Protein backbone atom coordinates (compact mmCIF):
# COMPACT_ATOMS: atom_id res chain seq x y z
CA UNK A 1 0.00 0.00 0.00
CA UNK A 2 1.29 3.51 -0.82
CA UNK A 3 2.16 5.45 2.28
CA UNK A 4 1.64 9.17 2.67
CA UNK A 5 4.86 10.65 3.99
CA UNK A 6 4.27 13.08 6.85
CA UNK A 7 7.42 12.82 8.93
CA UNK A 8 10.88 12.64 7.39
CA UNK A 9 14.14 11.69 9.07
CA UNK A 10 17.37 12.90 7.46
CA UNK A 11 20.82 11.50 8.17
CA UNK A 12 23.68 13.90 7.40
CA UNK A 13 23.23 17.64 7.93
CA UNK A 14 25.74 18.73 5.28
CA UNK A 15 24.89 20.80 2.23
CA UNK A 16 22.42 18.22 0.89
CA UNK A 17 20.82 17.05 4.16
CA UNK A 18 20.14 20.60 5.34
CA UNK A 19 18.69 21.55 1.93
CA UNK A 20 16.42 18.48 1.95
CA UNK A 21 15.30 19.36 5.50
CA UNK A 22 14.42 22.89 4.38
CA UNK A 23 12.30 21.85 1.38
CA UNK A 24 10.50 19.11 3.36
CA UNK A 25 9.61 21.56 6.15
CA UNK A 26 8.54 24.16 3.58
CA UNK A 27 6.11 21.55 2.17
CA UNK A 28 4.56 21.17 5.64
CA UNK A 29 6.32 17.94 6.67
CA UNK A 30 7.88 17.34 10.08
CA UNK A 31 11.63 16.84 9.88
CA UNK A 32 14.10 15.10 12.18
CA UNK A 33 17.66 16.03 11.21
CA UNK A 34 20.60 13.88 12.36
CA UNK A 35 24.37 14.12 11.98
CA UNK A 36 27.02 12.10 13.77
CA UNK A 37 28.95 15.33 14.31
CA UNK A 38 27.08 17.76 16.63
CA UNK A 39 28.98 20.72 15.14
CA UNK A 40 27.86 19.76 11.62
CA UNK A 41 24.29 19.49 12.90
CA UNK A 42 24.55 23.03 14.29
CA UNK A 43 26.08 24.30 11.04
CA UNK A 44 23.34 22.57 9.05
CA UNK A 45 20.60 24.19 11.16
CA UNK A 46 22.29 27.61 10.82
CA UNK A 47 22.50 27.22 7.05
CA UNK A 48 18.74 26.51 7.00
CA UNK A 49 18.20 29.71 9.06
CA UNK A 50 20.33 31.63 6.57
CA UNK A 51 18.47 30.11 3.60
CA UNK A 52 15.09 31.01 5.09
CA UNK A 53 16.24 34.57 5.91
CA UNK A 54 17.29 35.01 2.29
CA UNK A 55 13.81 33.93 1.15
CA UNK A 56 12.23 36.44 3.57
CA UNK A 57 14.46 39.29 2.42
CA UNK A 58 13.68 38.48 -1.22
CA UNK A 59 9.96 38.57 -0.36
CA UNK A 60 9.45 34.92 -1.42
CA UNK A 61 8.01 34.01 2.00
CA UNK A 62 6.74 35.96 5.01
CA UNK A 63 8.66 36.10 8.29
CA UNK A 64 5.90 34.16 10.06
CA UNK A 65 6.03 31.43 7.38
CA UNK A 66 9.78 31.18 7.82
CA UNK A 67 9.32 30.68 11.59
CA UNK A 68 6.69 28.00 10.97
CA UNK A 69 8.99 26.17 8.53
CA UNK A 70 11.89 26.33 10.97
CA UNK A 71 9.74 25.08 13.86
CA UNK A 72 9.01 21.87 11.92
CA UNK A 73 12.73 20.92 11.87
CA UNK A 74 13.96 19.18 15.02
CA UNK A 75 17.47 17.87 15.72
CA UNK A 76 17.76 14.09 16.15
CA UNK A 77 20.81 13.23 18.22
CA UNK A 78 20.81 9.51 17.50
CA UNK A 79 19.06 7.03 15.20
CA UNK A 80 16.63 6.16 18.04
CA UNK A 81 15.16 9.67 17.64
CA UNK A 82 14.26 8.82 14.02
CA UNK A 83 11.77 6.14 15.20
CA UNK A 84 8.59 8.10 14.32
CA UNK A 85 9.69 8.78 10.71
CA UNK A 86 7.64 7.49 7.74
CA UNK A 87 10.66 8.00 5.49
CA UNK A 88 14.36 8.31 6.35
CA UNK A 89 16.66 9.84 3.74
CA UNK A 90 20.36 9.14 4.17
CA UNK A 91 22.46 12.08 2.94
CA UNK A 92 25.77 11.27 4.64
CA UNK A 93 29.23 11.37 3.06
CA UNK A 94 29.54 9.64 -0.35
CA UNK A 95 31.32 6.56 0.94
CA UNK A 96 29.88 3.07 0.61
CA UNK A 97 31.25 1.75 3.92
CA UNK A 98 29.83 4.77 5.79
CA UNK A 99 26.43 4.30 4.21
CA UNK A 100 26.32 0.53 4.79
CA UNK A 101 27.23 1.06 8.44
CA UNK A 102 24.38 3.59 8.79
CA UNK A 103 21.80 1.25 7.22
CA UNK A 104 22.86 -1.76 9.26
CA UNK A 105 22.32 0.11 12.55
CA UNK A 106 19.46 2.45 11.55
CA UNK A 107 16.74 -0.09 10.67
CA UNK A 108 16.32 -1.45 14.21
CA UNK A 109 15.08 2.01 15.29
CA UNK A 110 12.43 2.30 12.56
CA UNK A 111 8.88 1.07 12.11
CA UNK A 112 8.80 -2.01 9.85
CA UNK A 113 6.79 -0.11 7.22
CA UNK A 114 9.05 2.97 7.17
CA UNK A 115 10.70 3.67 3.82
CA UNK A 116 14.49 4.06 3.76
CA UNK A 117 16.09 6.10 0.99
CA UNK A 118 19.56 7.20 0.01
CA UNK A 119 20.61 10.44 -1.64
CA UNK A 120 23.77 8.80 -3.03
CA UNK A 121 25.12 10.38 -6.22
CA UNK A 122 26.45 7.15 -7.65
CA UNK A 123 26.47 4.02 -5.46
CA UNK A 124 24.35 0.99 -6.39
CA UNK A 125 20.89 1.15 -4.80
CA UNK A 126 20.60 -2.63 -4.90
CA UNK A 127 23.89 -3.02 -3.01
CA UNK A 128 22.95 -0.42 -0.38
CA UNK A 129 19.48 -2.00 -0.03
CA UNK A 130 21.17 -5.27 0.89
CA UNK A 131 22.61 -3.57 4.00
CA UNK A 132 19.06 -2.93 5.28
CA UNK A 133 16.42 -5.32 6.63
CA UNK A 134 13.91 -4.01 4.00
CA UNK A 135 15.21 -3.97 0.40
CA UNK A 136 11.59 -3.81 -0.83
CA UNK A 137 11.05 -0.54 1.14
CA UNK A 138 14.38 0.96 -0.02
CA UNK A 139 14.86 3.45 -2.89
CA UNK A 140 17.27 6.03 -4.28
CA UNK A 141 15.94 9.60 -3.97
CA UNK A 142 18.63 11.73 -5.57
CA UNK A 143 18.20 15.47 -4.99
CA UNK A 144 20.27 18.04 -6.88
CA UNK A 145 22.37 20.80 -5.32
CA UNK A 146 21.25 23.37 -4.12
CA UNK A 147 18.13 21.48 -3.09
CA UNK A 148 15.84 24.50 -2.53
CA UNK A 149 16.61 25.77 -6.06
CA UNK A 150 16.89 22.70 -8.28
CA UNK A 151 13.68 21.25 -9.69
CA UNK A 152 14.77 17.70 -10.48
CA UNK A 153 14.91 14.63 -8.26
CA UNK A 154 16.02 11.28 -9.71
CA UNK A 155 14.25 8.20 -8.38
CA UNK A 156 16.18 4.94 -8.63
CA UNK A 157 14.68 1.57 -7.85
CA UNK A 158 16.83 -1.29 -6.62
CA UNK A 159 16.11 -4.81 -7.82
CA UNK A 160 13.77 -5.47 -4.88
CA UNK A 161 12.07 -2.05 -4.58
CA UNK A 162 8.29 -2.58 -4.47
CA UNK A 163 5.86 -0.55 -6.60
CA UNK A 164 4.26 0.89 -3.46
CA UNK A 165 7.64 2.24 -2.29
CA UNK A 166 8.23 3.85 -5.68
CA UNK A 167 4.71 5.36 -5.76
CA UNK A 168 5.07 6.75 -2.21
CA UNK A 169 8.44 8.30 -3.11
CA UNK A 170 7.01 9.77 -6.31
CA UNK A 171 4.08 11.34 -4.42
CA UNK A 172 6.52 12.68 -1.80
CA UNK A 173 8.59 14.44 -4.48
CA UNK A 174 5.45 15.91 -6.06
CA UNK A 175 4.45 17.22 -2.63
CA UNK A 176 7.79 19.04 -2.44
CA UNK A 177 6.84 20.75 -5.72
CA UNK A 178 9.65 19.02 -7.62
CA UNK A 179 9.79 16.93 -10.77
CA UNK A 180 10.98 13.34 -10.59
CA UNK A 181 12.53 11.21 -13.31
CA UNK A 182 13.20 7.49 -13.14
CA UNK A 183 16.64 6.09 -13.67
CA UNK A 184 17.75 2.47 -13.74
CA UNK A 185 20.24 1.39 -11.10
CA UNK A 186 23.49 1.86 -13.04
CA UNK A 187 26.57 3.66 -11.69
CA UNK A 188 25.89 7.40 -11.17
CA UNK A 189 22.36 7.10 -12.70
CA UNK A 190 21.57 9.70 -15.42
CA UNK A 191 22.60 13.23 -14.38
CA UNK A 192 25.98 12.37 -12.88
CA UNK A 193 26.78 9.74 -15.56
CA UNK A 194 26.78 12.62 -18.02
CA UNK A 195 27.86 15.57 -15.83
CA UNK A 196 30.82 14.14 -13.90
CA UNK A 197 32.84 12.88 -16.90
CA UNK A 198 32.48 16.43 -18.30
CA UNK A 199 33.82 17.90 -15.04
CA UNK A 200 36.62 15.29 -14.93
CA UNK A 201 37.55 16.20 -18.51
CA UNK A 202 37.68 19.88 -17.54
CA UNK A 203 40.15 18.92 -14.76
CA UNK A 204 42.25 16.96 -17.31
CA UNK A 205 42.19 20.06 -19.51
CA UNK A 206 43.64 22.03 -16.59
CA UNK A 207 46.10 19.22 -15.68
CA UNK A 208 47.45 19.03 -19.23
CA UNK A 209 47.88 22.81 -19.35
CA UNK A 210 45.40 23.37 -22.15
CA UNK A 211 43.94 26.27 -20.19
CA UNK A 212 43.92 27.99 -16.79
CA UNK A 213 41.03 27.66 -14.31
CA UNK A 214 39.73 30.99 -15.53
CA UNK A 215 39.96 30.22 -19.25
CA UNK A 216 38.31 26.79 -18.88
CA UNK A 217 35.38 28.18 -16.88
CA UNK A 218 34.96 31.22 -19.14
CA UNK A 219 35.14 28.99 -22.22
CA UNK A 220 32.31 26.75 -21.03
CA UNK A 221 30.17 29.61 -19.70
CA UNK A 222 30.39 31.75 -22.83
CA UNK A 223 31.08 29.03 -25.39
CA UNK A 224 28.60 26.38 -24.28
CA UNK A 225 26.17 28.62 -22.41
CA UNK A 226 26.64 26.79 -19.10
CA UNK A 227 25.47 28.89 -16.13
CA UNK A 228 28.61 27.88 -14.18
CA UNK A 229 32.04 26.83 -15.40
CA UNK A 230 32.87 23.11 -14.82
CA UNK A 231 35.59 23.85 -12.24
CA UNK A 232 33.34 26.27 -10.38
CA UNK A 233 30.67 23.55 -10.46
CA UNK A 234 33.16 20.93 -9.18
CA UNK A 235 33.94 23.19 -6.20
CA UNK A 236 30.23 23.65 -5.63
CA UNK A 237 29.51 19.89 -5.65
CA UNK A 238 32.56 19.12 -3.45
CA UNK A 239 35.73 17.60 -4.89
CA UNK A 240 35.51 14.55 -2.59
CA UNK A 241 32.03 13.82 -3.97
CA UNK A 242 33.29 14.35 -7.57
CA UNK A 243 36.18 11.92 -7.01
CA UNK A 244 33.94 9.38 -5.37
CA UNK A 245 31.46 9.47 -8.29
CA UNK A 246 34.30 9.05 -10.83
CA UNK A 247 35.66 6.08 -8.86
CA UNK A 248 32.21 4.46 -8.86
CA UNK A 249 31.92 5.00 -12.65
CA UNK A 250 35.47 3.71 -13.25
CA UNK A 251 35.03 0.59 -11.14
CA UNK A 252 31.34 -0.01 -11.88
CA UNK A 253 31.62 0.26 -15.68
CA UNK A 254 35.22 -1.02 -15.92
CA UNK A 255 36.06 1.46 -18.67
CA UNK A 256 39.28 3.50 -18.61
CA UNK A 257 37.47 6.52 -20.05
CA UNK A 258 36.16 7.18 -16.52
CA UNK A 259 39.58 7.27 -14.77
CA UNK A 260 39.65 10.13 -12.25
CA UNK A 261 42.12 12.88 -13.14
CA UNK A 262 45.24 12.73 -10.90
CA UNK A 263 44.86 16.46 -10.24
CA UNK A 264 41.40 15.84 -8.76
CA UNK A 265 42.93 13.17 -6.51
CA UNK A 266 45.65 15.63 -5.46
CA UNK A 267 43.17 18.35 -4.49
CA UNK A 268 41.16 15.87 -2.42
CA UNK A 269 44.33 14.59 -0.72
CA UNK A 270 45.20 18.19 0.16
CA UNK A 271 41.78 18.65 1.76
CA UNK A 272 40.98 21.31 -0.86
CA UNK A 273 37.43 20.02 -1.27
CA UNK A 274 35.88 23.11 -2.86
CA UNK A 275 33.50 25.67 -1.40
CA UNK A 276 32.71 23.71 1.75
CA UNK A 277 36.45 23.70 2.66
CA UNK A 278 36.90 27.31 1.42
CA UNK A 279 39.47 26.11 -1.11
CA UNK A 280 39.35 24.03 -4.28
CA UNK A 281 39.93 25.17 -7.85
CA UNK A 282 39.19 28.59 -6.36
CA UNK A 283 40.19 30.09 -3.01
CA UNK A 284 37.05 31.34 -1.24
CA UNK A 285 38.69 32.80 1.86
CA UNK A 286 38.61 36.38 0.57
CA UNK A 287 35.75 38.54 -0.70
CA UNK A 288 35.99 37.19 -4.29
CA UNK A 289 37.02 33.67 -5.36
CA UNK A 290 40.59 33.53 -6.72
CA UNK A 291 41.71 30.65 -9.02
CA UNK A 292 44.25 28.35 -7.32
CA UNK A 293 45.98 27.53 -10.64
N1 LIG B 1 27.14 17.85 -3.15
C2 LIG B 1 26.34 17.61 -4.16
O3 LIG B 1 26.30 18.37 -5.16
C4 LIG B 1 25.42 16.43 -4.12
C5 LIG B 1 24.34 16.36 -5.01
C6 LIG B 1 23.47 15.25 -4.94
C7 LIG B 1 23.71 14.25 -4.03
N8 LIG B 1 24.79 14.33 -3.17
C9 LIG B 1 25.01 13.23 -2.22
O10 LIG B 1 24.50 13.63 -0.95
C11 LIG B 1 25.28 13.02 0.07
C12 LIG B 1 25.81 14.09 1.00
O13 LIG B 1 26.59 15.01 0.28
P14 LIG B 1 26.92 16.47 0.84
O15 LIG B 1 27.41 17.25 -0.33
O16 LIG B 1 25.77 16.98 1.66
O17 LIG B 1 28.15 16.14 1.82
P18 LIG B 1 28.68 16.97 3.09
O19 LIG B 1 30.11 16.61 3.25
O20 LIG B 1 28.29 18.41 2.97
O21 LIG B 1 27.80 16.36 4.30
C22 LIG B 1 27.87 15.02 4.72
C23 LIG B 1 27.44 14.98 6.19
O24 LIG B 1 27.27 13.60 6.57
C25 LIG B 1 27.66 13.50 7.91
N26 LIG B 1 27.93 12.09 8.23
C27 LIG B 1 28.97 11.31 7.81
N28 LIG B 1 28.85 10.07 8.35
C29 LIG B 1 27.70 10.06 9.10
C30 LIG B 1 27.05 9.08 9.90
N31 LIG B 1 27.57 7.85 10.04
N32 LIG B 1 25.90 9.40 10.53
C33 LIG B 1 25.38 10.66 10.40
N34 LIG B 1 25.95 11.65 9.67
C35 LIG B 1 27.11 11.34 9.02
C36 LIG B 1 28.90 14.38 8.00
O37 LIG B 1 29.19 14.75 9.36
C38 LIG B 1 28.47 15.59 7.15
O39 LIG B 1 27.85 16.59 7.92
C40 LIG B 1 26.35 12.19 -0.64
O41 LIG B 1 25.91 10.88 -0.80
C42 LIG B 1 26.46 12.89 -1.98
O43 LIG B 1 26.94 12.04 -2.99
C44 LIG B 1 25.63 15.41 -3.20
pLDDT in tens, 256-268: 999 999 999 999 9
Give percent of the chain with pLDDT exceeding 70: 100
Q: Which of 13, 15, 25 is nearest to 66 (CA)?
A: 25
- pTM (two decimals): 0.93
Catalytic residues: 121, 142, 154, 192
**Do the beta carbons of residue 160 and residue 36 sit within 8 Å?**
no
Is 165's C-beta closer than 6 angstroms to any atom of ligand 1? no
CA 169/CA 72 separation, integer angstroms: 20
Which residue out of 43, 75, 89, 91 has the highest number of ligand 1 atoms within 8 Å of its CB and is therefore the one to mutate? 91
Q: Does position 1 have pLDDT exceeding 80, yes or no? A: no
Is 170's C-beta closer than 6 angstroms to any atom of ligand 1? no
Which residue out of 36, 51, 76, 92 has the highest number of ligand 1 atoms within 8 Å of its CB and is therefore the one to mutate? 92
Task: Round the average pLDDT of the chain to a whole number and report it.
Answer: 97
pLDDT tens column, 120-175: 998 999 999 999 999 999 999 999 999 999 999 999 999 999 999 999 999 999 99
CA 230/CA 240 separation, integer angstroms: 15
Is 16's C-beta closer than 6 angstroms to any atom of ligand 1? yes
Handedness of CA 254, 129, 37, 45 (dihedral sign): positive
In this prediction, residue 3 carries a pLDDT of: 81
pLDDT band with cut points at 50, 70 and 90 for residue 2: confident
In this prediction, residue 29 carries a pLDDT of: 98
In this prediction, residue 211 carries a pLDDT of: 97
Contacts of residue 234, Cβ cutoff 8 Å, sequence gap at least 6: 199, 202, 203, 242, 264, 274, 280, 281
- Report the atom number in ligand 1 closest to the C-alpha of 34: 33
Angle formed at CA 217 by CA 215 and CA 219, multiple of 5 degrees: 65
Amino acid sequence: MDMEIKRVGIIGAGQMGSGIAQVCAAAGLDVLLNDRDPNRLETGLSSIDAGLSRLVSKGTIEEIESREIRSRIKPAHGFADLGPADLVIEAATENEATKREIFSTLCASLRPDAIVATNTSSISITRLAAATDRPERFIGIHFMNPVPVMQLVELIRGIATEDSTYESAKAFIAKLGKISTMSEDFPAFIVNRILLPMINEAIYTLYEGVGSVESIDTAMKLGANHPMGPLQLADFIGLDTCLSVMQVLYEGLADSKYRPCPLLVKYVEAGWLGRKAKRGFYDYRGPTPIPTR
